[in-house]
Amino acid sequence: MKFRILAQEGFARSASFMGTHGQTETPCFMPVGTLGAVKGLTWEQVKGMGYSLVLANVYHLYLRPGLEVIEAAGGLHSFIGWNGLILTDSGGFQVFSLGRLMKIKEEGIEFRSHVDGSKHFFSPEFVVEFEERIGVDIGMVLDECTPYPATYEYAKHSMERTLRWAKRSIEARTTDKTALFGIVQGGVYEDLRLKCVEELVKLPFDGFAIGGLSVGEPKEEMYRITRLVAPKLPPDKPRYLMGVGTPEDILEAVEAGVDMFDCVMPTRNARNGTLFTSRGKINIKAAKYRKDFSPPDPECDCYTCRNFSKAYLRHLYASGEMNASILNTIHNLHFYAKLMERIREAIKGGYFTEFKREFLAKYRGG
């Protein structure tokens, strides 16, 4: 893995990331392809928007189709037919979302499948082994995702376990073809976050993620922790804010020095009829669009906006047509891709602060 800073403005940086299966430029957004597919789109469409790094999930891939099938196919890239970069989340967040179906132990996490109720166990070592064997470019370590709200004591124990698991993950590595990222936890407590950073950076990780945010805490808390943590991480390694987020969240985090993002929001919202536009979000289900023959976003040049009106998209959604989700997803992912492209250009041009201010004024102004 190679990571090279191309330009910087304040803490905001634009960089080039090279992995085993190609390269991408940051700041970047990763479309979520949990089970090895971005819902409703082909890889050709995803690539055509400018994406070269996508996210998949160990928890889901482990349950279906399973390690044996993926290995028999020659690895995850071959199995899903994607020739770009892949990052896998360990599935820790998904396992913690199981609630009573999950039990945390020092050795790892015991859980029952949400599919058939069968019993399984993830250790930090197994997650690293799984990621290496399926051949992904970036693997996330298994961490304990601290919920919100959490007491100081709970967050402290959770963070300390995350550190112990991080050390075990490093010891379990057998190849450098899969880059390994450590994850900073500690809830909303500044001293815990800083302690986690202090210990984590002593380990030879290829990059670092900020986890445990966007889990229900107020926005300002998320921004505060991001501004605290991101600049403290090694400047020569990528920084990833997990599960974030809205265009506003991304701009705030880029300003703090974050390089990588993922979120189900653009794709999930698309399936629910919400579109991101240069003037904010619109709900295509609204009756006011019944005879609105303008494109979703007149400033967007995506396939959807070039060819279809709000009225038509509303009609498709109201009729339960599959194309409603597809066309909405094309637009939202294109919007995010263009946003990241403009952010990179602004950093390289030295006008990111100005771009952020102007973008948000328009986006929030409606």
Taking the C-alpha atoms of residue 286 and residue 301, their distance in angstroms, rounded to an integer, is 23
Annotated binding-site residue? 135: no
Preceding omega of 27 cis (within 30 degrees of 0): yes
Residue showing tokens 């979520």: 32
Annotated binding-site residue? 123: no
Annotated binding-site residue? 176: no
**DSSP output for 165-222:** HHHHHHHH---SSSEEEEEE--TT-HHHHHHHHHHHTTS--SEEEE-S-SSS--HHHH
- Residue 181 φ then ψ, to 5°: -110, 135
What does DSSP assign to residue 21? T
Handedness of CA 31, 34, 37, 39 (dihedral sign): negative
Annotated binding-site residue? 143: yes
Annotated binding-site residue? 302: yes
Cβ–Cβ < 8 Å for 206, 237: yes
Question: Which is the catalytic residue, given 137, 206, 249, 262?
Answer: 262
Annotated binding-site residue? 185: yes
Annotated binding-site residue? 196: no
Annotated binding-site residue? 212: yes
Cβ–Cβ < 8 Å for 134, 71: yes
Question: Which is the catalytic residue, given 89, 206, 259, 297?
Answer: 89
Residue 365 has, within 13 A of its CA and on its CB side, a CA count of: 7
Contacts of 315 (CB under 8 A, 6+ apart): none
Annotated binding-site residue? 305: yes
Query: Which residues, in sequence order, are bridge partners of residue 250?
Result: none
Annotated binding-site residue? 191: no
Taking the C-alpha atoms of residue 126 and residue 71, their distance in angstroms, rounded to an integer, is 15
Tokens of 34: 């949990």
Among this protein's residues, is 262 annotated catalytic? yes
Annotated binding-site residue? 182: no
Q: How many CB atoms lie within 10 A of CB 51?
A: 23
Cα three-residue angle 249-210-101, rounded to 5 degrees: 105
Radius of gyration of the chain (CA): 20
**DSSP output for 232-266:** GS-TTS-EEETT---HHHHHHHHHHT--EEE-SHH
Among this protein's residues, is 89 annotated catalytic? yes
Binding-site annotation: residue ranges for Zn(2+): 300, 302, 305, 331
Binding-site annotation: residue ranges: 89-93, 143, 185, 212, 300, 302, 305, 331
Q: Which residues are tagged catalytic?
A: 89, 262
Binding-site annotation: residue ranges for substrate: 89-93, 143, 185, 212
